[in-house]
């Protein structure tokens, strides 16, 4: 077959992710080319993130290119991908997951600000993030911190901290790691406390379902346990009709990782929903034999705790994700 065209955003992190996929495919003697695509999220840089922006803010143009046969595989940060995909597209592979945790980067000029008991800060600590999930959970975890809107790619956000615009920034450990910047993490949150976004730390490799030649190559990069964990997490959002910008964290903590069989992996699925009345936390133990069933079960617990059928019934969680085929 001819060279596989890899579609990606053109940020430094997105290109690093696409280059990783290209290198992995090259090791399998598969030729590739990288196609850079600008998304709405790349064009609108001054608006805070929020559920009102929808669930395809960073992915729609890439998916359109895939549907139009302008690319053959899309490389997404899984946490940015809508839980309901357009007709004809599938997540064919999730490579082995990177560190899913959230971290705080500082300039090093705020001694003690990110100590083990950083919730006990006596002085103000201005930390940047535009994530509704991080904002809502940090309001409870770190009530002494002032959380300020901050958008931009990873290097830009770190530079803003170094330039003194913020005391710190909350970022995904995976993004820092993929850019060789993980040494900048001054605090790494326990994922049971600051619960990561569904799919955080994972890549989603998306193809046209009908393109079996490409799918057969891309599936070779799949890590079954990581893929199953992500399926469970994404099922929670799908059941709740929560877009990827909703103030919801959900993360599968895995054990018995010596196996490659998802059904043999024990899991505790943690969730946190930031509501105007406070934080709603749930957890559920199980295994990855039926990832969607596990995710649906904890979503039902969350909905029951909130007294709603889905988050679309609330005024604070934003619009639901797009329906199939839209």
| Sign of the dihedral through C-alpha 124, 181, 131, 165 | positive
Q: What is the pLDDT of residue 44?
A: 58
Count CA within 13 A, CB hemisphere, residue 57: 21
CA angle at 191 for the pair 139 and 163, rounded to the nearest 5°? 60
Q: What is the pLDDT of residue 261?
A: 86
Give the model confidence (pLDDT) of 192-227 as tens digits: 999 999 999 999 999 999 999 999 999 999 999 999
> Residue 179, Cβ neighbours under 10 Å: how many?
17
290 in catalytic set: no
Is the pLDDT assigned to residue 53 strictly greater than 60? no
Confidence grade of residue 126 (pLDDT, cut at 50, 70, 90): very high
Structural domain boundaries in the chain = 4-98+198-313, 102-188
- The mean per-residue pLDDT over the stretch 234-244 comes to 91
Q: What is the pLDDT of residue 109?
A: 57
Of the residues 80, 99, 102, 193, which is catalytic?
Answer: 80
102-188, which class in CATH? Answer: alpha beta
What are the residues whose beta carbons fall under 8 Å from the beta carbon of 279, sequence distance 6 or more?
136, 137, 140, 272, 273
- The mean per-residue pLDDT over the stretch 82-87 comes to 91
| Sign of the dihedral through C-alpha 292, 295, 298, 304 | negative
Identical fold, 4-98+198-313 and 102-188: yes
Phi/psi for 10 (5° steps) reads: -105, 20
Q: Which residues are paired to 5 by β-bridges? A: 33
Q: Which of the two residues, 318 and 121, has the higher pLDDT score? A: 318
**For the chain, percent of residues with pLDDT exceeding 90:** 73
Give the model confidence (pLDDT) of 259-311 as tens digits: 788 888 999 999 999 999 899 999 999 999 999 999 999 999 999 999 999 99
Is the pLDDT assigned to residue 2 strictly greater than 90? no
Give the model confidence (pLDDT) of 127-162 as tens digits: 999 899 999 999 999 999 999 999 888 999 999 999
DSSP structure class, residue 4: E
**For the chain, percent of residues with pLDDT exceeding 70:** 86
Q: What is the pLDDT of residue 243?
A: 77
Q: What is the pLDDT of residue 42?
A: 60
Q: What is the pLDDT of residue 111?
A: 46
Q: Which of the two residues, 1 and 23, has the higher pLDDT score? A: 23
Helix H or strand E encompassing 171: strand 168-172
Q: What is the CATH number of domain 4-98+198-313?
A: 3.40.190.10
């Amino acid at each position: 077959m001819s060279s596989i065209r890899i579609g990606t955003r053109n940020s430094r992190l997105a290109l690093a992710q696409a280059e990783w996929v290209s290198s992995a495919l090259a090791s399998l003697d598969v030729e590739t080319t990288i196609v850079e695509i600008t998304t709405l999220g790349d064009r609108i840089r001054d608006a805070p993130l929020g559920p009102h922006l929808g669930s395809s803010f960073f992915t729609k143009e890439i998916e359109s290119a895939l549907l139009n046969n302008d690319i053959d595989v899309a490389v997404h940060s899984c946490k940015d991908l809508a839980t309901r995909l357009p007709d004809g597209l599938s997540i064919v592979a999730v490579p082995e997951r990177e560190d899913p945790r959230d971290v705080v980067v500082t300039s090093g000029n705020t001694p003690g600000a990110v100590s083990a008991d950083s919730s006990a800060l006596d002085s103000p600590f201005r930390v940047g993030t535009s994530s509704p999930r991080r904002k809502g959970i940090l309001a409870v975890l770190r009530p002494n911190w002032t959380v300020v809107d901050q958008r931009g790619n990873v290097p830009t956000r770190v530079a803003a901290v170094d330039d003194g615009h913020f005391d710190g920034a909350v970022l995904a450990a995976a993004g820092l790691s993929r850019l060789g910047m993980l040494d900048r993490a001054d605090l790494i949150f326990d994922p049971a406390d600051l619960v990561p976004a569904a799919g955080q730390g994972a890549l989603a490799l998306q193809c046209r379902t009908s393109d079996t030649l490409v799918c057969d190559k891309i599936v070779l990069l799949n890590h079954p346990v990581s893929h199953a964990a992500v399926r469970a997490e994404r099922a929670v959002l799908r059941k709740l009709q929560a877009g990827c910008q909703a103030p919801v964290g959900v993360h599968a903590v895995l054990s018995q990782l010596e196996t490659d069989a998802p059904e043999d992996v024990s899991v505790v699925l943690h969730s946190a929903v930031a509501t105007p009345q406070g934080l709603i936390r749930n957890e559920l133990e199980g295994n990855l034999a039926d990832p969607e069933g596990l995710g649906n079960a904890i979503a039902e617990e969350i909905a029951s705790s909130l007294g709603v059928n889905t988050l679309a019934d609330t005024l604070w969680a934003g619009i639901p994700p797009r329906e199939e085929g839209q």
